């Protein structure tokens, strides 16, 4: 839920990157952190295991400056993708205004993508929000995988129900930054449209 | 409250009351810092050491701790942990939930007794709960607050700042 502080003239929005383990959620945030002007970004905070897997969340505050007199802040979070952290994902998702669902384009990851999206739907619904109306952008990450393991966009659309749900869908290679900002623009616009 | 409500608006008058409440709490308990957060981790107001630079990260982490403890409560079939207490060598943190929406956090050192913090925090949460109720009732005014041109300007800013 976005917070609008009238006296301080501030608007805060929370965006969560969701998806199965190792799909590239943290990489998205790392790329954004490396590229945005320093005057708009805060420190990238990561609570990770010793092997650099996300344990709780990554957090990147972005301060967009004043828009029509309102200081506007976007807070980006990732969830831990591994199956055992389901409850932790619920905790991080709390109060989110929008979600980027990062799907892995590897053919061996399709079932994990589907399971993770299903879990997201459950968790959004449990927060008393209508999943069909909740701002979601889907990113197909790792589009640079070799062709023999890469799932086509049409197949992913079909399995994840992207066309049916009318979600914006963006192809990406988060390690090089391709599609990362397009994704961020799309979810930011979706969140703003619901303010 | 409307479950599809996407924004919560804190009007000026209510913010003044919140600031007064936090200020009193800091003074009466001799605490270092009091922080009111939305459950999503966003800082609504804070009182205490004005030099604190890490407040945004602090808000995100404290809300994370609280959301995490709520999930623990569910696993234990406990309704909710309304309060959590973290004890350090120098600093302590006491966190209290307000009506499932806001989180009140007090940071205090060993010179302050936890019992006093608990009692006065309870009083403050009751007061803040009535403020929250008023804030919730005013959410329909959001179009007046933001104005019709806000979204257009916001989209232009997004395109400008988030470009490849």
> For position A187, which CATH number holds?
3.40.50.300
Distance from C-alpha of B123 to C-alpha of B133, rounded to nearest angstrom? 16
**Total domains in the fold of chain A:** 1
What mean pLDDT is predicted for residues B142-162? 81
Q: B32 phi and psi, to 5 degrees?
A: -85, -35
Q: Which pLDDT band, with edges at 50, 70 and 90, does B148 fall under? A: low
B162 CB neighbours in chain A (<8 A) are 36, 181, 184-185, 188
Give me the percent of chain B exceeding a pLDDT of 90: 49
Distance from C-alpha of A74 to C-alpha of A64, rounded to nearest angstrom? 8
Alpha carbon A166 to its chain's center: 17
pLDDT of residue B28: 95
In the predicted structure, residue A85 carries a pLDDT above the cut 60: yes
A69 touches chain B (CB under 8 A): no
pLDDT tens-place string over residues B71-109: 888 889 998 888 999 999 999 999 999 988 899 999 999
Query: B138 or A181, which is more confident?
Result: A181
- Count the helices and strands in chain A (H runs, E runs): 6, 8
Q: Please indicate, yes or no, whether the overall pTM of this predicted structure exceeds 0.90.
A: no
pLDDT of residue A191: 93
The CA angle A175-A178-A179, to the nearest 5 degrees, is 120
In the predicted structure, residue A40 carries a pLDDT above the cut 60: yes
CA-derived radius of gyration, chain B: 18
What mean pLDDT is predicted for residues B7-29? 91
Q: A163 phi and psi, to 5 degrees?
A: -65, -45
Mean pLDDT of chain B: 87
CA distance to partner chain A, nearest, from residue B6 (Å): 5
Q: How far is CA B70 from CA A167, B37, B100, in A?
A: 31, 16, 10
pLDDT of residue A173: 98
- Contact between residue B64 and residue A56 where contact means Cβ atoms under 8 Å apart: yes
A6 touches chain B (CB under 8 A): yes
Contact between A128 and B7 using a beta-carbon 8 Å cutoff:
no
pLDDT of residue B11: 86
pLDDT tens-place string over residues B49-72: 767 778 888 888 898 888 888 888
- Contact between residue B132 and residue B101 where contact means Cβ atoms under 8 Å apart: yes
Contact between A12 and B38 using a beta-carbon 8 Å cutoff:
yes
pLDDT of residue A158: 94
What mean pLDDT is predicted for residues A37-48? 90
Distance from C-alpha of A63 to C-alpha of A43, rounded to nearest angstrom? 12
Distance from C-alpha of B2 to C-alpha of B122, rounded to nearest angstrom? 27
Domains with residue ranges and CATH for chain B: 12-161 (3.30.450.30)
CA-derived radius of gyration, chain A: 16
Helix (H, G, I), strand (E, B) or coil at A33: helix
Q: B47 phi and psi, to 5 degrees?
A: -140, 145
Distance from C-alpha of A133 to C-alpha of A131, rounded to nearest angstrom? 5
pLDDT of residue A54: 85
Least confident of A40-49, A148-157, B25-34: A40-49
Distance from C-alpha of A4 to C-alpha of B142, rounded to nearest angstrom? 9
User: How many beta carbons lie within 10 A of that of residue B125, not counting itself?
Assistant: 21
Distance from C-alpha of A11 to C-alpha of B90, rounded to nearest angstrom? 34
In the predicted structure, residue B121 carries a pLDDT above the cut 60: yes
**Burial class of residue A194 in the structure, from the number of CB atoms within 10 Å of its CB (0-12 exposed, 13-18 middle, 19+ buried):** middle
Contact between A95 and B40 using a beta-carbon 8 Å cutoff:
yes
pLDDT of residue B143: 63
DSSP A5: E
pLDDT of residue B3: 41
Tokens representing A107 are 């053919």
pLDDT of residue B4: 42
In the predicted structure, residue B139 carries a pLDDT above the cut 70: no
Exposure string for B62-78, b = 16+ CB within 10 A, e = fewer: bbbbbbbbbbeeeeeee
Alpha-carbon torsion (A30, B61, B27, B91), positive or negative: negative
B3 CB neighbours in chain A (<8 A) are 128-129
- Contact between residue B68 and residue B53 where contact means Cβ atoms under 8 Å apart: no
- Contact between residue B73 and residue B80 where contact means Cβ atoms under 8 Å apart: yes
Strands A70-78 and A10-18 come out as parallel
Give me the percent of chain A exceeding a pLDDT of 70: 99
- Structural domain boundaries, residue A136: 3-193
What mean pLDDT is predicted for residues A61-68? 90
pLDDT of residue B131: 93
pLDDT of residue B52: 74
């Amino acid at each position: 839920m976005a917070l609008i502080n009238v006296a301080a003239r501030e608007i805060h929005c929370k965006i969560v990157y969701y998806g199965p383990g190792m799909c590239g959620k943290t990489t998205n945030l790392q790329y954004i952190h490396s590229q945005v002007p320093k005057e708009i970004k805060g420190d990238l905070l990561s609570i990770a295991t010793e092997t650099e897997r996300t344990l709780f969340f990554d957090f990147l505050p972005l301060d967009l400056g004043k828009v029509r007199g309102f200081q506007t802040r976007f807070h980006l979070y990732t969830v831990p993708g591994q199956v055992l952290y389901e409850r932790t994902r619920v905790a991080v998702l709390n109060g989110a205004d929008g979600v980027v669902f990062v799907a892995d384009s590897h053919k061996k990851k399709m079932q994990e993508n589907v399971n993770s999206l299903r879990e997201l739907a459950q968790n959004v619904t449990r927060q008393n929000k209508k999943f069909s109306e909740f701002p979601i952008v889907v990113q197909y990450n790792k589009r640079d995988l070799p062709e023999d393991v890469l799932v086509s966009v049409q197949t992913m659309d079909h399995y994840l129900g992207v066309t049916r749900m009318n979600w914006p869908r963006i192809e990406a290679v988060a390690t090089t930054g391709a599609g990362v900002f397009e994704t961020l623009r799309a979810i930011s616009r979706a969140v703003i449209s619901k303010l | 409250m409307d479950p599809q409500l996407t924004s919560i608006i804190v009007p000026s008058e209510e913010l003044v009351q919140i600031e007064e409440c936090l200020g009193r709490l800091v003074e009466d308990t001799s605490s270092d810092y009091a922080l009111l957060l939305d459950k999503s981790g966003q800082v609504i107001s804070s009182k205490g050491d004005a030099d604190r630079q890490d407040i945004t990260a602090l808000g995100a982490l404290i809300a994370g701790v609280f959301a995490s403890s709520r999930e623990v409560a569910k696993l234990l079939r406990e309704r909710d942990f309304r309060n959590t207490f973290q004890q350090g060598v120098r600093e302590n943190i006491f966190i209290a939930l307000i009506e499932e929406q806001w989180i009140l956090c007090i940071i205090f050192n060993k010179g302050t007794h936890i019992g006093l913090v608990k009692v006065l925090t309870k009083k403050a949460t009751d007061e803040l709960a009535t403020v929250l109720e008023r804030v919730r009732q005013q959410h329909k005014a959001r179009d007046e607050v933001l104005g019709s041109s806000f979204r257009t300007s916001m989209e232009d800013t997004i395109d400008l700042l988030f470009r490849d």
